[in-house]
């Protein structure tokens, strides 16, 4: 007989689903993950890359919590770069091109060989509940499976359709089957359904590209790995290329806008502001005479090249015409045409900070079904939902990440507090405390939480403890004072710095713009016993401690409101002094703290003052 009873069922096996299922199974829970197609497990239907600005931060955080994305990305890497290196460490972001075939194979193998995890190819049609608690799922074939928790990670597959000109196909990305039945069930469960849209560029045959006419982009060397578990650093085995559109390209696109489903009004879904199609770029930035694009290999086993920056929903003949107007692509053969994709997702303000649905205990949502875009945002939500489902079943306290603790905390708080009216994309500018939330210290911020949740191995936890000890020892050396020796004076002069008249601490010396800990140590050898990773931490501490201290003070001030909890049974319509809009927003979102209430769009400082007075009175009356 087939086993139909599970602790957790994960619906969908994209990046959110994989992380959620692994988190549950690795913490000892009997887990089922369903997918519309086994070939879609961990699939990268759009850009064959992991990381990038702010997204790289998320991958480091996923790994620090004990997730899988960073490990898989390291193993599948073919080209990698550190973005924003000319700027401060807060915005340094690792981005890698991965072999998408290999990435899928590695992730699928990881799931297949994970203890406590069962995989099933099927379409889920219903989530059934009883007395406000989730009970399990039903498939389109009629099978029923029971569970204590269900995590919905359906990505862009809900009632999705792809559009290329007038050709419309009811399917998921890359021609995969879509899910047609679950949306109606989610509506019956009380969720608000939104309709979003995104897109993907064409793929061209490498052999038909004149690469000599384009600018090669080599990868960077000596970069950190995404995962602390990766022992051997990946190598750059592929080249990417950069090129530009031109006025002729723009003329062709403008002449063909009448064929675009976007401008015909056929597309109803709301698209991403920060990743517009090439048609959008031409219209919105009419003053620009060229737009940048990148050619990125899909995998080492194929000649398919991804044309980053030229997503489109124009008909096939228009795509061919404008591609052939670009230098280097005059004879390019399009192996796959670009398309737009529309899909259903939910209004994530219906969720708690744990990503559990407020109205049904044990029902969680993670990934693009929550209105986000991107693999990294999805995986980050997946591991958080998985951890919280596991903690709840095991009778433990939930893991709620605050905005000052992780980019994941910023992501989730934005979704559940502010909501989103377009596909949400993580950016460093969304984080108020980004100097604290660097990718290089993700393990220092989150590894202990992952260990306590049962996901981080003892070996990686020991690495964290050693790193903390080394940083403390290094800080003691930073406080050592240097005398104005002849060698030091010469070193300062050599770096264009003023000589010192009396002693100076190493910490103060490193604050000078032209001096860093690496070349200082090459000369004076105070830190020879420390790794490059520790030297990087000490260098940031020395150079940015003033700014870091300011952010810590801001966090402490904000924490006062974060610690003021709001009872969940308040009827906001009875609070005198609250504006109607504030009453409605507060009633719908049900903020858990005063700080969260203050971040709700439409709730003014005056409304927060009224709420503060009410909470003080409530506390006084209880006493």
Mean pLDDT rounded to a whole number for the chain: 95
**With bands split at pLDDT 50, 70 and 90, how would you rate the model's confidence at 602?**
confident
For 192-213, what is the mean pLDDT? 97
Nearest Cα to 161, choosing from 198, 132, 127? 198
What is the side-by-side strand order in the sheet with 149-152? 117-121, 31-35, 8-11, 149-152, 363-365
Tell me the CATH number at 577.
1.10.150.570
**With bands split at pLDDT 50, 70 and 90, how would you rate the model's confidence at 3?**
confident
Let me know whether 181 and 113 are in one domain.
yes
Tell me the pTM.
0.94
Residues 374, 55 contacting (CB under 8 angstroms): yes
Strand partners, 364: 151, 356
Tell me the CATH number at 476.
1.10.10.1800
Domain end residue (candidates: 435, 453, 471): 453
383: in domain? yes
Residue 526 CA, chain-centre distance (Å), reads 38
- Asked if residue 186 has pLDDT above 80, the reply is yes
For 448-469, what is the mean pLDDT? 96
51: in domain? yes
* Residue appearing with tokens 């559109």: 245
Let me know whether 192 and 43 are in one domain.
yes
* Residue appearing with tokens 């230098």: 327
Residue by residue, DSSP assigns 428-463 as: GGG-TTTTTS-GGGHHHHHHHHHHHHT-S-HHHHHH
pLDDT at 563: 86
Tell me what percent of the residues of the chain surpass a pLDDT of 90: 87
Helices 517-524, 486-494: crossing angle, 10 deg rounding? 140
- Between the alpha carbon of residue 435 and those of residues 91, 526, 558, the distances in Å are 8, 26, 16
Residue by residue, DSSP assigns 112-151 as: HT-TTEEEEE--EEEEEEETTEEEEEEETTS-EEE-SEEE
Let me know whether 556 and 570 are in one domain.
no
The DSSP symbol for 206 reads: G
CA distance 384 to 390: 10
CA distance 183 to 159: 7
Burial class of residue 612 (count of CB atoms within 10 Å of its CB; 0-12, 13-18, 19+): middle
pLDDT at 1: 44
Let me know whether 55 and 152 are in one domain.
yes
CA distance 224 to 555: 28
Domain end residue (candidates: 453, 479, 502): 453
pLDDT at 502: 87
Kindly state the tokens that stand for 347: 């209004």
Domain count, the chain: 3
189: in domain? yes
For 337-341, what is the mean pLDDT? 96
pLDDT tens track for 84-129: 999 999 999 999 999 999 999 999 999 999 999 999 999 999 999 9
- Asked if residue 623 has pLDDT above 80, the reply is no
Nearest Cα to 56, choosing from 327, 290, 379? 379
234: in domain? no
For 121-146, what is the mean pLDDT? 97
152: in domain? yes
124: in domain? yes
Domain end residue (candidates: 393, 424, 453): 453
Let me know whether 157 and 54 are in one domain.
yes
CA distance 4 to 509: 65
SS3 294: strand
575: in domain? yes
Number of H helices, E strands in the chain: 20, 23
Let me know whether 50 and 158 are in one domain.
yes
Let me know whether 177 and 50 are in one domain.
yes
Tell me what percent of the residues of the chain surpass a pLDDT of 70: 100
224: in domain? no
pLDDT at 2: 66
Let me know whether 191 and 88 are in one domain.
yes
Residues 53, 91 contacting (CB under 8 angstroms): yes
Tell me the CATH number at 420.
3.50.50.60
CA distance 175 to 161: 10
Nearest Cα to 71, choosing from 227, 195, 294? 227
- Between the alpha carbon of residue 103 and those of residues 76, 166, 238, 599, the distances in Å are 5, 33, 16, 38
For 132-148, what is the mean pLDDT? 97
pLDDT tens track for 31-52: 999 999 999 999 999 999 999 9
pLDDT at 262: 82
Domain range for 153 is 8-196+343-453
């Amino acid at each position: 007989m087939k086993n139909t009873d599970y602790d957790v069922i994960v619906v969908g096996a994209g990046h959110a689903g994989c992380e959620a299922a692994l988190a549950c199974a690795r913490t000892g829970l009997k887990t089922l993950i369903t997918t519309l197609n086994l070939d879609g497990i961990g699939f990268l239907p759009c850009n064959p890359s992991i990381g990038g600005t702010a997204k790289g931060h998320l991958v480091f955080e996923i790994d620090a919590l004990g997730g899988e994305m960073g490990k898989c990305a390291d193993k599948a890497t073919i080209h990698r770069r550190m973005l924003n290196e000319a700027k401060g460490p807060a915005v340094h972001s690792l981005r890698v091109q991965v072999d998408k075939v290999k990435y899928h194979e590695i992730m699928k193998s990881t799931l297949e060989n994970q203890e406590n995890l069962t995989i099933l190819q099927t379409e889920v049609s219903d989530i059934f509940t009883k007395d406000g608690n989730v009970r399990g799922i039903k498939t389109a074939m009629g099978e029923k499976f029971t569970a204590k928790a269900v995590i919905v990670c359906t990505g862009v597959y809900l009632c999705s359709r792809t559009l290329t000109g007038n050709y419309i196909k009811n399917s998921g990305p890359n021609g995969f089957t879509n899910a047609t039945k679950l949306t109606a069930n989610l509506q019956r469960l009380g969720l608000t359904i939104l309709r979003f849209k995104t897109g993907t560029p064409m793929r061209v045959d490498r052999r038909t590209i004149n690469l000599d006419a384009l600018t090669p982009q080599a990868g960077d060397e000596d970069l950190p790995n995404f995962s602390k578990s990766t022992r051997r650093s990946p190598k750059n085995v592929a080249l990417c290329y950069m090129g530009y559109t031109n006025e002729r390209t723009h003329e062709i696109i403008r002449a063909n806008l009448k064929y675009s489903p976007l401008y015909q009004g056929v597309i109803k879904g709301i698209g991403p502001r920060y990743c517009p199609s090439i048609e959008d770029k031409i219209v919105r930035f009419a003053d620009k005479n060229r737009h940048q694009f990148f050619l990125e290999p899909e995998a080492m086993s194929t000649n398919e090249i991804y044309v980053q920056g030229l997503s489109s929903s124009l008909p096939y003949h228009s795509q061919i015409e404008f591609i052939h107007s670009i230098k280097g692509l005059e004879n390019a053969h399009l192996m796959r045409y670009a398309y737009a994709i529309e899909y259903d997702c939910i209004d994530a303000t219906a969720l708690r900070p744990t990503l559990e649905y407020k109205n049904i205990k044990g029902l969680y949502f993670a990934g693009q079904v929550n209105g986000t875009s991107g693999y990294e945002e999805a995986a980050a939500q997946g591991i958080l939902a998985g951890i919280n489902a596991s903690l709840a079943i095991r009778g433990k306290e939930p893991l709620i990440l605050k905005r000052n603790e992780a980019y994941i905390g910023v992501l989730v708080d934005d979704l559940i507090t502010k909501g989103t009216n377009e596909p949400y994309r993580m950016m460093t500018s969304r984080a108020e405390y980004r100097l604290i939330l660097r990718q290089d210290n993700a393990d220092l911020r989150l590894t202990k939480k992952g260990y306590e949740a049962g996901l981080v191995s003892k070996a990686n936890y020991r690495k964290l403890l050693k790193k903390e000890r080394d940083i403390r020892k290094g800080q003691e050396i930073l406080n050592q004072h240097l005398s104005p020796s002849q060698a030091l004076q010469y070193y300062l002069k050599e770096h264009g710095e003023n000589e010192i008249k009396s002693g100076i601490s190493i910490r103060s010396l490193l604050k000078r713009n032209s001096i860093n800990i690496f070349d200082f140590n090459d000369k004076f050898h105070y830190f020879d016993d420390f790794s490059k990773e520790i030297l990087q931490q000490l260098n940031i501490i020395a150079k940015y401690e003033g700014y870091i201290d300011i952010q810590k003070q801001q966090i402490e001030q904000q924490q006062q409101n974060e610690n003021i909890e709001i009872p969940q049974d308040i009827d906001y319509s009875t609070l005198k002094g609250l504006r109607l809009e504030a009453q409605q927003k507060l009633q719908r979102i049900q903020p858990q703290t005063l700080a969260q209430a203050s971040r709700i769009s439409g709730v003014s400082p005056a409304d927060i003052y009224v709420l503060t007075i009410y909470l003080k009175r409530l506390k006084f009356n209880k006493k």
